[in-house]
Amino acid sequence: MIIGAGALGTGSAEMLVRAGIGKITLADRDYVEWSNLQRQQLYTEEEAEQRTPKAVAAKRRLSAINAEVDIRSHVMDVSVEEMERLIEGVDLILDASDNFDIRMVINDISQKYSIPWIYSACVGSYGISYTILPGETPCLNCLLEEVPMGGITCDTVGIISPAVQMVLSFQISEALKILVEDRLHLRNKLVSFDLWKNHQSTIKVDMLKKADCLSCGAERSYPYLSFSNQTKTAVLCGRDTVQIRPSQRLDRDLESLDKILSKRKGEVKRNPYLLSFSTSNHRLVVFKDGRVLIHGTKSIAEAKTLYHRYLG
């Protein structure tokens, strides 16, 4: 299962599908934008033009690459509830997300169901990856004494695609070893690199495994699976965008919303998966599952105001 279909998600999905993996589950909350095309290898200009959800565009391309692979693709913002639903039968979770909120959920789910996962991330020319095996290695909660806040991911420095490909090489090599059950050859080290500065480090972090870790220790409580730790609003990575997620999933009727918003000042565009409403300063993108992205602000308060002004 791959969480996220951005740069890392599209790259890892393509490698695994070409390799002929049996079944792959892919989930992503976003749609294709022009700025994605520099590195998100499954998408095209046409999909950016049409704002096709990444999960839809990715599945289309992956099926065209290898029709024999069973590809389950979901337009959804994965959190605890979704993860619990998708996890059945999964052998390995690949992190291709862009935030630590979801990574901490992946980490707890991995421990709860004893399924390995591979943390991977990159920014600029820098990348990092670590393979987490429940019952053996430290978990992400052991490694992070505090959860990195948004700022660390929201670099305006961008990312060069070789950094993506390098992280992918580390991540998918480990994935293949796990999938063919060759655990002897796993790296067992935290790896990081900076392609611009010509650095690479691999360090052994076994000693950071904490006996009293709340995610993997003897008295574990899976803190990130509890309701209070779930984010309902999130400022998205470097995009001047806030996501608002209703506390309950709903099936929004985009057609009637189209009619309502068309009467207001602004421009409405719609495809079968989402509706986009632009005002002079902001753009609201409403997904069928009820989520809303509010572009043009970093303020959660302002985003909520706009949300309630237009969507009730």
Partner 1 sequence: MILTVNGDQVEIPEAIETITELLQHFKLYDKVIIVEKNGEILEKAKHSESLISDKDSIELVHFVGGG
Active site residues: 154
Min CB(193)–partner 1 separation in Å: 9
Measured CA to CA, the distance from residue 190 to residue 202 in angstroms comes to: 5
Q: What would the x/- binding string for Zn ion be over residues 198 to 217, using CB under 5 A?
A: ---------------x-xx-
Number of shown-chain residues binding Zn ion (CB under 5 A): 6
> Binding to partner 1 (CB under 8 A): which residues in 117-146?
120-123, 126-128, 143-146
92 binds partner 1 per the rule CB under 8 A = no
CB of 219 to Zn ion, least distance (A): 12
Within positions 100 to 159, which residues make up the interface with Zn ion, using CB under 5 A?
139, 141-142
Give dist(CA 4, CA 2) in Å, integer: 6
Dihedral pair phi/psi, residue 190, rounded to 5°:
-80, 125
Distance, in Å, from the CA atom of 149 to the CA atom of 102, rounded to the nearest integer, reads 12
State the nearest-atom distance from the C-beta of 130 to partner 1, in Å.
Answer: 9
For residue 246, how many C-alpha atoms fall within 13 Å in the half-sphere facing its CB?
Answer: 16
Q: Whole-angstrom Cα distance, residue 295 to residue 285?
A: 8
Point out which span in 14-22, 79-87, 177-185, 186-194 binds partner 1 (CB under 8 A): 186-194
Pick 119 or 222: Cβ nearer partner 1:
119
Q: How far apart are CA 42 and CA 36, in angstroms?
A: 10
**Is residue 45 left, alpha or beta, with left meaning phi > 0 and alpha meaning psi from -120 to 50?**
alpha
The binder of 201, among partner 1, Zn ion, none, by C-beta within 5 to 8 A per type, is: partner 1
Return the one option of partner 1, Zn ion, none that residue 141 interacts with (CB less than 5 to 8 A, by type).
Zn ion
36 is an interface residue for Zn ion by CB under 5 A: no
Binding mask 53-92 for Zn ion (x = CB under 5 A): ----------------------------------------
Q: Please report how the helices 7-19 and 54-65 are oriented relative to each other, as an axis angle in degrees rounded to 10.
A: 20
User: Minimal distance in Å, beta carbon 13 to partner 1?
Assistant: 13
Indicate whether 87 belongs to the interface with partner 1 (CB under 8 A): no
**Shortest gap between Cβ of 137 and partner 1 (angstroms)?**
14
Query: Left if phi > 0, otherwise alpha if psi is -120 to 50, otherwise beta: which for 158?
Result: left
Binding region for partner 1 (CB under 8 A): 4, 6-9, 95-100, 103, 120-123, 126-128, 143-148, 150-153, 155, 159, 190, 192, 194, 197, 199-201, 203-205, 207-208, 237-238
